[in-house]
Structure 1
Amino acid sequence: MDLDTAPFVIVDTETTGSRAGEDRLIEIGAARLMGGEVVETFQQLVDPGRHVPHRITRLTGISTAMVYGQPQAAEVMPRFLEFLGDAVLVAHNLPFDARFLDVALAEAGLPPLQNPSLDTLRLARRLLSSLPSKGLSKLIEHFGIAVNGRHRALGDAVATAELLTILLDRMRIEFGVETVEDVLAFQRRRYKDTRREPSHLRKIRDEILPLLPDRPGVYFMRDAKGRVIYVGKAKSLRNRVRSYFTGVESHVPKTRKLVRDVRDVTWRETGTELAALLEESKLIKNYLPVYNRAQRRYRDYPFLRLDATHPYPTISWTPRIAHDGAEYYGPLGRRGQAEELVELIGRLFMLRECDDNVFTLGRPCLYHEMGRCGAPCVGGEGAEQYGLEVERVRAFLTGRDTEAVDMVEEAMREAAASREYEAAGWYRDQLRRLQRTLGRQRKIASAVHEHDAVLIEPLAPGYEGHEGGAQLFLIRYGRLAGRVDLPADPAPDEVADLAAALAEAFDPALPPPESHLRPDVDEMRMLANWMRLHPEGARQVRWRPEHDADDFLEAVIDAAREAVPTNEPEDDEDE
């Protein structure tokens, strides 16, 4: 029977002493384990018909008064057998508990236990030879297992159930154990037969890991049928992939299961970590590997929309970008963040917040009375100053004007001084988000449709034979339009190829896209986040329609020559 569907009943007993037949049961606790989860429990105090020794009371907390009047063993055992059913019986030091249970069954006129049995103490001795003690207390401490009621039957049974799941995972990874029959046989293996490494781990360590390059790329973990079950990216393929296959027992359960299932690892070098990041996202959405939890679907990311087509622009948010004359800023992380940022702009700047139907009425509305609008609908100073207010908003959205940070901080202090703590908390949260947003936008410094630049990252030495150079990410209208690898000393034909790529991507006659699709926005989000997180390693050469093509080419080549690798630590991935 497969381990994921097999029922296990983990039992623990408390007794008046250690000699079955002379000493008696005072408590039975049991937990039913299926698929790694405790789904049902059993607990019952038992009247031993005699005094509970003081030393047992000190250890367990169970006194004579507690068990007096409780059911006797002959009454309890039929109910326990019903709970046990045909499950595998499990205990830590099983012979001890089994002897007392069999004596109690005999008193009830029932035959001894016939269920298949498993002893976690035997498993621990075979799997954890380096630990000096295999007692339940030491194993609980070693694995950090939380116990609700140590030396009480149910508490110890539940703790043993968690220990069993840990040991089963280890047997799966290291010995390919997949069925109940395998586990029952494993507990009786000779010790020397439990010291060998599983063949699939040995093969990966001996034949694959030595070939991995110390350069960025994406890697594919495959199962026995060759299916991709995990895709990851790495700044160093060698270090990242090796980390899965060392110290396996210390990994989180999900990673241990991944290592258990993987049979082969392949990879693809990308030259830079940024290229690996972009490729990883696409590959996960293509393969949908079972062990990748994040990035499996394209999401809608909100953008702020400044409607510059109206004489008096308004600010709002939208999940879509269109070629409609409006200015778009972002992407932002989530809808709530966009809504709060629109609200914050409404509080800080005097842009109108009414719709066009209300505006055409030509009279001040509620927002003017609240001090949030200069009423350009009636002309006067509000209309004259409106263009300046729009420029302030643009400067704010591109990170060029940090005055808003001071304004929010002052509003937070005023609210706190007035004991308006809810408002002060709102301003505090906005201040934090604002600082993150400004940091990201300062690297972009333009609306989406005006973001035209070459992002430059240093190539990893040795990539495709290059001992230096740079990888160029061509960004047009906010989207990734192409990628070019440029050696440290490019030949004339390589310079010509770069010039052709730049001319195609930055053709002044190239119209903006009618819309930005989800894959485009996904790349935009990752590029913006990369520029925010790597302010020193990333470089940009911005393009304007009035730039001379030769001057732009020379500026890009000069920036590429200055690109040098950084020694930033690699970010941990989400398994």
Structure 2
Amino acid sequence: MTAPPVSQLSFDELGTPLREVTFVVLDLETTGGSAKADAITEIGAFKVRGGERVGELSTLVDPGVGIPPGIVALTGITTAMVRAAPPVAAVLPALLEFLRGAVLVAHNAPFDTGFLRAACERHGLAWPRPPVLCTARLARAVLPREEAPSVRLGALARLFGTTTTPNHRAPDDAAATVEVLHHLLERIGNLGVQSLEELLALAKDSAPHRPTTGQRRKRTLARGVPSAPGVYLFRGPRDEVLYVGTSGDLARRVRSYFTAGERRRRVRDMVALAERVDTVVCAHALEASVRELRLISAHRPRYNRRSRNPHRGWWVTTTVEPFPRLSVVTTPCDGALGPFRSRGAATAAVDTLLDAVPLRPCTPRIPLRPVATPCALHELGRCAAPCAGLQPVAEYAPAVDALAALVEGRDDAALRRLADAVDALAARERFEDAAARRDRLADLIRALAGTQRLAALARVTELVGARPDGRGGWEVAVLRHGRLAAAGVAPRGVAPMPVIDALRLGAQTVLTGPGPLHGAPHEEVRLLHRWLATGGTRLVHSEPLWSEPARGAPSWTAWAERARPLEVPD
């Protein structure tokens, strides 16, 4: 696949740059205990932006109750000191305004935010739900235990040598927290964290999930990863591919494995083994998704669970013999139905198809001149006994043609008969039988619709689609027989047709194979179909014309989705 160069995303598109974030670093002193039962006695807050203090709010607060002796001994705040101070109801509006548009920072933030939320609730004020950053959690996520055995504010202040010493007074503790925050932000710069979103994700790391020191060191693997759509490959010590993924922003996604507290155990194990991250920049998300599928298929990475076998699936087809029967196979041939995810699902489809078309349900191979004795199925009226010569080839052939017409979408008469049978059972109040048949028919409709949609796209020799990229340009894809053959972008201000012509000239040559999808992996065809059918994609060129059968199963999908369990009278 070829593509014109992709312009890098600006830094602002990666998230909110930390240099542009306003932090309000806050500390509260209280009467102690629970936020619901106790009250605030002092508030200290500093507004910080770009490493500089740009605002300050500090006040004692009258809690309306006496301050316990233990709290007086700890903070030095007495009941007499707060008697002339404003109550919290008078302070809260100013504090909430001070917080507007900022990230709330506190040491052990759940304690402080709990008291503020409870105060807002008691006084009928809406809590603005600002982003909250806990410097204690951030310190534990950033600092190794050998350097910082404790992340209490006093311990961190001593570690970093802050100019303000915490003393359980809100203004001083808030000032010390500002310095601790700045020291921590210096540390995370070395970890590749550059945006607010990444910072908040890093601070959510909890002890059971926190990356080890070795994993932290591997955050350097994210250096140099471009900020563009594409595919990334984690490689192990023997250069083997451990994991393949895709993202609209490679830099942000790869950094997240080291800074976002990845919760999946398998992925954490993979990161511990990784020695290198390779990337493939793509024109847009569609190309990235297709390349991901192909790379997973090629490398079969041990930590990818899906798409490792893109051609794997079960198909329903007819055997090649004078009296064809339905068979479940793993290799598709022309006219096959599928793919199904399991053999059981394919076998269930066979049972429903036998209700739809009068093919023989038995499995023995019947020669052109049959000599067998009719079986019990003939006695039950379910088979015309071609095995005994009671049904010649010419009389059996229409059933084979009816199956082909149903699978290819040329005739939906069989679906109508099955739907009528469901209605007839319901009319006779055989609700359980009707529900079972309805569910089986709905499954068959979905399978037929999927096959017909994908086969219609795979038949097209060349198709060009263009989708708005959201920035005034166009994402372009050239498809050939259900595969992505070229991808590119016509940016805003660039005429799209010359870009499309160049992509068509350089597009990959596709060699077709057997089966309804002409050898294309069903996951790739399904991905391309979804891209074409959603998101405002426009059809630029199609040779031959891309079309789906008018009497095909897609016209029945609404019936299948409307199917609901029938009410059974008491």
Q: TM-score, normalised by structure 1?
A: 0.48
Larger RCO, structure (CA 8 Å, separation 6 or more)? 2
Q: TM-score normalized by structure 2?
A: 0.49
